[in-house]
Structure 1
């Protein structure tokens, strides 16, 4: 507590103690209609638009219907008291809530419901009223330094700090539907977990955290190097996930896949990208069925259109695929 707030707490005219609290309804849909209480509720019109109700020993207007707030021109000791209570004490109370929700999630094996509780309790910058904006800024300054990013790494997952977390966001790379992007994101995440990397899935209620934390974003170029050095991270993936992984890696403009067993053949097999290997033909036609016993010389016929086009472009420059 600052010296100024401590002085105000001792002021007989203010006659208030720095008591505050927050109330949060767990496991519910996101609700940003929090209200203000001063032991008793203030009118319903006095909202914070936070996902919590706020109770505090605030200084009120004479009719006890509003908090005393600055008009931008002057600030008496009661206004300063409310400002200090909100910025200093209430922000710490909010951190206690976040810590409790993370600890509760960890103790109960990090179920989806409990993980979402953590993220849904965080304020939404877009719908928070101006008088609470300073509180929100303080909250994010504090929370961003905590282990508040959940990763599925390990048996029951773990919470990691922004310095360790890796974001898996394919939306900016692929010109495809949200369903297709999710199909691609799954094997990318699985491979990173196989590499013992604390990959974080960007959930609906944590975009502010991701932006403020400036999380490291994995790139196709980086992942190509990782899987080349650790082939067991991807070799045991199901066929559809291997194809999806290739769909992601091929966004790397270098397209240097030498040694990666990710080239899908007609049927269920994969072969290695290698200039000295037997040639594989990129051709999509019913005529492939006529090459009895040679179908494995052709690329898979059921690849996504964009991936097929990318492989066909590679074939024009490669000695391995034609």
Structure 2
């Protein structure tokens, strides 16, 4: 017998049940602190400036209460502990529509909305089976099981209508200015969500097909709060509206403020953001209409973020310098003009951490010795640990302790860059991007919004538009913003930024995550174009690599310092750079062969000429002079050192190299014979260094001295 089939009228696409759709959504969103971020996202999109969370540990159903105070008797089971979320922006008509949309969003094509995928709010179903919201003149509940508002899955009441159900709104009373008057015709000024925590009874009641079997209690909410607090100083960094976030706990006795984070220089930040935002619509319009290169839209400002844990009184503060940047290039215009990219704009942000009032800023500290050169040289000779003067001279002369310099990276360099799509994305690992700055952009994200969409080997023969967009932001737009940030940092922007902090923001190839290394070439090429490098020459200035002499002795800081100082005295423009920046120059500078270096291999004659033209080096510490001598003897015949005050004597002083006709002869004696010439140390060579001694002996034999 033939199989029975449906009639043509019955044949249709099979759509998953509402419960199944919610389950699919929850699979995209982790059950962790990301939930709170999604709630903040909705407040940000609504233009709210304040967000508050409250864990309510109370049960609001008194024994003996009947169910007459509810619109449905089954709602009685949701009067237990809950999580509240408040923001100070009221729902609009579109918001009331959007909250009811499943797997879709009213914000999908709005590029300036954080929640462009529109699904984030649904992550609250990890916590609850019955979210409730009060805003303006209405209260609404969403019931995905269609159990309490049959046949509908949601219900909305006017606040005066719900007044008849006094038990139903009882948990709201006393929470963020919600009172009995709210249900007597006074619109609620803001938006207040309540998420009754799912308990074991709820799961058992819906055991056949629960949206989620997660059970939430006080410990679970505290874990959410703690996870949020760990990165609280980052959350506000790139948002356009939200300025302050607070966390509370309520029990039967009182409501306590647990934690708060805010922008402490909010007026300055507001002004800068408004200046940028006021110009953005016209700039975006020009991107779509213009056929020529546009000047990018950009703004740079400091932002001070302050967090306080009100339980242990611990306070934390971090200052960042932030650049917001919207591209105007022809390539950006081409992307924007494509209808597929209507929801995307070439807008990025970069933030560098600033360490203010740090006396060690920009200083490299030796692990083995914190004394200055002067302290070492004046150590008491009577000290029981002090060696023989000649041995002490040798020790000082050959020590390679790290010396402070203006381009030394910051001592407290701890930032491991985070990725933002207005809000910080979850860290894949503790290392983040490995960049020394935080980056923000209107990136295309994975469905669960945990990472950027990255190209794979399977994409070689396809044109994935989302991944192409991300590559444009990363390789073309972000490096320009990077340059703008550091360039403005060199200008100060009303806040002190040391050279060490600027150089710390150059990417370090050894630390950057493999996926992010693809932007390093573009970033370095941009940075090489500007005066990003500080020198003490000419009373201190920022210079370019093309106009500088790079002093590079990575294994000999004392020699590096000596060469740097003598070049300053002779009106050159020397630079000392950390190894990772030197590596960046070697790897990415398009014309590195034209740059001028002084190193162990090159330009030693330039060093000799500088010494010959200025006697300021005569006052250098002995260890630096000794290293200069080693360096020059390694490359030049001794005869070319005539006139240089670099000949070390046994009395810990130096004299001038002179021709063999000089009447002031200097003698060479074995170290174990020096005691025979007490008081005559000034006439004898400091001869503990065998290499130097042998070179000088050979020079004498050859008639050079």
TM-score band (shorter)?
Answer: 0.7 to 0.9
Query: Pairwise CA RMSD of aligned residues?
Result: 3.0
Of 268, 274, 282, 2:668 maps to 282
CA offsets, 1:183-228, max 9 Å, x none?
3333222211111111212325523344345342223332223322
Paired residues for 1:132-281 under 5 Å: 132-155=516-539, 157-171=540-554, 181-211=556-586, 212-213=588-589, 214=592, 215-218=595-598, 219-228=603-612, 230-255=613-638, 256-267=640-651, 268=653, 270-278=655-663, 279-281=665-667
Describe the shift of the 1:62–1:305 C-alpha distance in structure 2 as closer, same or farther (beyond 3 A): same
Q: Describe the SS at the equivalent of 1:48.
A: coil
Describe the shift of the 1:76–1:281 C-alpha distance in structure 2 as closer, same or farther (beyond 3 A): same
Cα offset, 1:82, TM superposition:
1.6
CA offsets, 1:282-305, max 9 Å, x none?
22345445457865442235x544
Describe the shift of the 1:4–1:153 C-alpha distance in structure 2 as closer, same or farther (beyond 3 A): closer
Cα separation, 2, equivalents of 1:182 and 1:61: 47
Cα separation, 2, equivalents of 1:296 and 1:106: 55
Cα offset, 1:238, TM superposition:
4.8
Q: Is the 8 A contact 2:646 2:654 kept in 1?
A: no
Of 685, 689, 704, 1:299 maps to 685
Cα separation, 1, equivalents of 2:511 and 2:438: 15
Of 477, 492, 500, 1:89 maps to 477
Q: Describe the SS at the equivalent of 2:547.
A: coil
Q: Which protein has the bigger strand share?
A: 2
Kindly name which structure, 1 or 2, has the bigger radius of gyration based on alpha carbons. Answer: 2
Question: TM-score if structure 2 supplies the norm length?
Answer: 0.40
Q: In the alignment, is residue 16 of structure 1 matched against residue 16 of structure 2?
A: no
Cα offset, 1:25, TM superposition:
1.7
Q: Is the 8 A contact 1:152 1:193 kept in 2?
A: yes
Describe the shift of the 1:231–1:122 C-alpha distance in structure 2 as closer, same or farther (beyond 3 A): closer
Paired residues for 1:69-148 under 5 Å: 69-71=454-456, 72-73=459-460, 74-104=462-492, 108=496, 114-148=498-532
Q: Which runs of 5+ in 1 are unaligned?
A: 172-177
Describe the shift of the 1:90–1:287 C-alpha distance in structure 2 as closer, same or farther (beyond 3 A): closer
Cα separation, 2, equivalents of 1:251 and 1:76: 58
Q: Describe the SS at the equivalent of 2:488.
A: helix
Q: In the alignment, is residue 39 of structure 1 matched against residue 422 of structure 2?
A: yes
Q: Is the 8 A contact 1:263 1:273 kept in 2?
A: no
Cα offset, 1:19, TM superposition:
1.4
Cα separation, 2, equivalents of 1:34 and 1:231: 45
CA offsets, 1:5-38, max 9 Å, x none?
3133234433122211122222363346322221
Q: Describe the SS at the equivalent of 2:564.
A: helix
Describe the shift of the 1:133–1:297 C-alpha distance in structure 2 as closer, same or farther (beyond 3 A): closer
CA offsets, 1:52-98, max 9 Å, x none?
22211112233333323333322232222222122222111111111
Cα offset, 1:243, TM superposition:
3.3
Q: Which runs of 5+ in 2 are unaligned?
A: 1-327, 356-409
Instruction: Answer 1 or 2: higher relative contact order, Cα 8 Å, separation at least 6.
Output: 1
Cα separation, 2, equivalents of 1:130 and 1:239: 45
Aligned length: 305
Cα separation, 2, equivalents of 1:137 and 1:319: 50
CA offsets, 1:237-267, max 9 Å, x none?
4555433332322222433212323323343
Which region of structure 1 is more displaced relative to structure 2, 18-27 or 60-69?
A: 60-69
Cα separation, 1, equivalents of 2:558 and 2:551: 13
Cα separation, 1, equivalents of 2:646 and 2:331: 64
Q: Is the 8 A contact 2:642 2:657 kept in 1?
A: yes
Question: TM-score if structure 1 supplies the norm length?
Answer: 0.81
Cα offset, 1:310, TM superposition:
3.0
Describe the shift of the 1:127–1:297 C-alpha distance in structure 2 as closer, same or farther (beyond 3 A): closer
Q: Describe the SS at the equivalent of 2:534.
A: strand
Q: In the alignment, is residue 314 of structure 1 matched against residue 699 of structure 2?
A: yes
Q: In the alignment, is residue 26 of structure 1 matched against residue 354 of structure 2?
A: yes
Q: Is the 8 A contact 1:194 1:233 kept in 2?
A: yes
Cα offset, 1:137, TM superposition:
1.2
Task: Give the structure 1 partner of residue 333 of structure 2.
Answer: 6
Describe the shift of the 1:9–1:167 C-alpha distance in structure 2 as closer, same or farther (beyond 3 A): same
Which region of structure 1 is more displaced relative to structure 2, 267-276 or 77-86?
A: 267-276
